[in-house]
């Protein structure tokens, strides 16, 4: 067994200490990056291609905010069982370049940042459908640089690891449509007493209209806000082709 004398340990420490001080910031950076990547849902993203989730991060957040004993109920609906007009209306309003970008629409993001900076408030969102799904499934609605960075990384991985149709299918089942109302199946039943496949074009456009503020507006509302956005979504949906 090799034995070191006490003064030898002291000499080793004195030699290592300057090296550590010089690279202290690098060590902390490596530590932060490692924690960041360990916090990502790396193994869950590929399963979204074929799997079904039961609880999302947003559901958990809403349950905690409302002191619920149980999580909000969510019923799954396959993409094929939804009226195709609904995803078209959603894409038309929320993410017109959905099939052309790889998760992040940099032009819209820059445009929204400039608008918000000019008005000194969050007046315009630049999130794509994939970014919204990443936030709803794995994150929360709190605003922070760390959370936004995670949203970006998860978004890019989703676009790389699962299909556009899988992204849309999961989005339709994760999106919030009212207080305790998650997923297209439950929303269609509550607001229109219908199965998602039986929704009319007008009903689809009204459901798409309220996605930015589901706790303030309902698809069944006769407000000017819902009416204007529904009309806009119907017009834009004509240019949307659901394909890879």
User: What average pLDDT does the segment 106-124 reach?
Assistant: 73
List the one residue out of 227, 244, 219, 233 whose CA is nearest residue 96.
233
User: What average pLDDT does the segment 217-222 reach?
Assistant: 93
Q: How confident is the model at residue 146 (pLDDT cuts 50, 70, 90)?
A: confident
Does residue 138 register a pLDDT over 70? yes
Q: What is the pLDDT of residue 79?
A: 93
Q: What is the pLDDT of residue 33?
A: 55
Could you give the C-alpha distances from 52 to 12, 62, 103, 181, 232, in angstroms and in order?
Answer: 55, 20, 21, 17, 32
Q: What is the pLDDT of residues 45-81, one digit of tens each?
A: 888 998 788 889 999 898 888 777 776 667 899 999 9
Q: Which residue has the tokens 């929320």?
A: 94
Q: What is the pLDDT of residue 200?
A: 97
Q: What is the pLDDT of residue 29?
A: 59
Higher local confidence (pLDDT), 145 or 130: 130
Helices and strands (DSSP H and E) totals, the chain: 11, 2
Residues in the chain: 244
User: What average pLDDT does the segment 127-137 reach?
Assistant: 94
Q: What is the pLDDT of residue 4?
A: 44
Q: What is the pLDDT of residue 111?
A: 82
Does residue 203 register a pLDDT over 60? yes
Q: How confident is the model at residue 18 (pLDDT cuts 50, 70, 90)?
A: low
Q: What structural domains and CATH numbers belong to the chain?
A: 1-38 (no CATH), 42-237 (1.10.3810.10)
Q: What is the pLDDT of residue 148?
A: 85
- Reading the block at residue 140, the tokens are 């929360």
**Residue 199 near residue 83 (C-beta atoms within 8 A):** yes
pLDDT > 70: percent of the chain: 77
Does residue 37 register a pLDDT over 50? yes
Q: Over the chain, what is the mean pLDDT? A: 83
List the one residue out of 135, 163, 152, 153 whose CA is nearest residue 48.
163
Q: What is the pLDDT of residue 67?
A: 75
């Amino acid at each position: 067994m090799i034995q070191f004398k006490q003064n030898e340990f002291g000499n080793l420490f004195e030699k290592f200490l300057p090296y550590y001080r010089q690279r202290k910031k690098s060590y902390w950076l490596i530590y932060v990056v490692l924690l960041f990547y360990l916090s990502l849902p790396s193994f869950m993203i590929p399963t979204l291609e074929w799997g079904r989730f039961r609880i999302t991060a947003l559901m958990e957040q809403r349950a905690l905010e409302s002191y619920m004993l149980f999580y909000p109920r969510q019923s799954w609906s396959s993409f094929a069982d939804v009226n195709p007009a609904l995803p078209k209306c959603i894409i038309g309003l929320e993410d017109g370049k959905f099939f052309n970008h790889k998760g992040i629409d940099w032009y819209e993001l820059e445009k929204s940042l400039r608008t918000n900076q000019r008005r000194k408030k969050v007046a315009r969102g630049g999130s794509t459908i994939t970014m919204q799904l990443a936030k709803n499934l794995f994150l929360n609605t709190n605003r922070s640089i760390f959370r936004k960075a995670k949203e970006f990384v998860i978004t890019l991985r989703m676009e790389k690891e699962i299909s556009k149709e899988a992204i849309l299918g999961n989005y339709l089942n994760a999106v919030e449509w009212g207080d305790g109302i998650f997923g297209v199946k439950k929303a269609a039943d509550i607001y229109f007493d219908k199965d998602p496949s039986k929704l009319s074009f007008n009903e689809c456009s009204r459901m798409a209209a309220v996605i930015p503020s589901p706790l303030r507006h309902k698809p069944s509302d006769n407000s000017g806000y819902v009416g204007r956005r529904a009309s806009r979504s119907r017009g834009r949906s004509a240019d949307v082709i659901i394909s890879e």
